[in-house]
Amino acid sequence: MKQTVYIFLMAVTTLLTHCGKGVVDIDGDATYEPKLVIEGYLFPNTKVDNIRISRNFPLNREINVLEFPVANAEVFLTDLEKDSVYPLEYNAGLISYEYNGHDLHIENGKKYRLQVAAKLDGRDLAASAVTSVPEKGFVIDRDKSRLAPMKYREKDADGEVKTYTIAYKPSPGTDFYALSIVALNASQNTFVEENPFGLKKEDIDDQLLDQLKYEASWAQTSPERNDVAEIEILWFDVWFYGRYRAILYAGDVNFKYYFTTHDAVQDIDGNLYEPRFNITGDGIGVFGSAIADTVYFEVLR
C-alpha cells in the first residue's frame, strides 16, 4: 500500500537564537552560490514520485515562491544493481518529478542513485545521491503495542500516567526510526485545554492549529537488534481529542542524517553548522528511503 511521507523535512526558514536574540550572524563577505535543492524518498513496492527539485536564493533578494520549483531539470534514477537508468518526468500539478513506466520496482536492500542537472542563474549545476533501501523485516507489532483509546493523561491503578506505545520489529541493519503523528480531528473545539503549557482554545488560530496537528519524534536502536523495540508517544505531542494517525518509518542513513541535523545549525555560542546532506555536487537537501507502517489511536474526552 502506498505510504505518504508526513514528516516534512525541508525547512525553508529556521529561527536561530543566540543569547536570547533571534539573529543569525552572516559574514558580510559571504557569496551566494546557486544550489539544487533535492527532497525525495523511495519506498519499497511503491511508485517513484514526489521527487521535488527546487532552488535556493540570495538573502538580499525578494523571493517569489513560484520561482522555487525547478521544472526543467534532467532527473534520472539508476538501479545500481541492474545498472538500469530511468528518466523522471515533471508533474506540474504535483510540482514534482515521477516515473510513469511500469518497469521500475523499488526493492528492499537495493541501492538507487538520483542524478539531477539544471541551469540556474546561467550556471550548469549537477548533483547526485545514493540511497540504500532498508532490508525487509520492519513491521509494527500491533499485538504488543498499546493503542487502545484512553483519556488525556489517563492514570493506571497505581496512579501512574499511561502512554501510547508502538512496538515494532526492526529492519536488519537499520538503527533509525522516525515517528510522525497527525491529529485527524484537530480543531479549536477539540483542543486539549489541560495541556502543560497553559494554552486555551481562544489562543488557537489557524496557523497555530496547523502547527500543532503535526508532531514528529525519532528513536535509535542497535542495527543488530532482532527483538521487538518500542517508541513512546509523549503527551507533549498530543494537543487534541479525537483520532490520530501514526506512521513509523525505518529510515536509511540519508533519512537519519538529514532528519537529525537539518534544524541543528547553530549552537548556544552562535557557531553555525551545515546539515549533513549526503549529496554530492551542487546539491543540498535529502534523497533517502524508508519502510513505513501505519496505526491509529484515539484520545477520549
Residue 4 has pLDDT above 50, yes or no: no
pLDDT of residue 262: 65
At residue 53, what is the residue type? I
pTM of the model: 0.84
pLDDT of residue 225: 74
Helix (H) or strand (E) holding 209: helix 206-212
pLDDT of residue 26: 54
pLDDT of residue 17: 27
Least confident among 23-27, 160-164, 204-208, 218-222:
23-27
Out of 2.40.128, 3.40.50, 2.60.40, 1.10.287, the CATH code matching 139-250+294-300 is 2.60.40
pLDDT of residue 159: 96
Local confidence band at 1 (pLDDT 50, 70, 90 cut-offs):
very low
pLDDT tens per residue across span 23-54: 445 554 467 899 999 999 999 999 999 999 99
Tell me if 298 sits within 8 A of 242, measured CB to CB. yes
Tell me if 288 sits within 8 A of 131, measured CB to CB. yes
The rounded mean pLDDT for the chain is 88
pLDDT tens per residue across span 62-115: 878 888 999 999 999 999 999 999 999 999 999 999 999 999 999 999 999 999
Q: How far apart are CA 146 and CA 165, in angstroms?
A: 5
Local confidence band at 223 (pLDDT 50, 70, 90 cut-offs):
confident
CA distances from 206 to 210, 236, 291 (A): 6, 20, 32
- What residues contact 187, with CB distance under 8 A and at least 6 apart? 209, 240
Selected residue with higher pLDDT from 285 and 262: 285
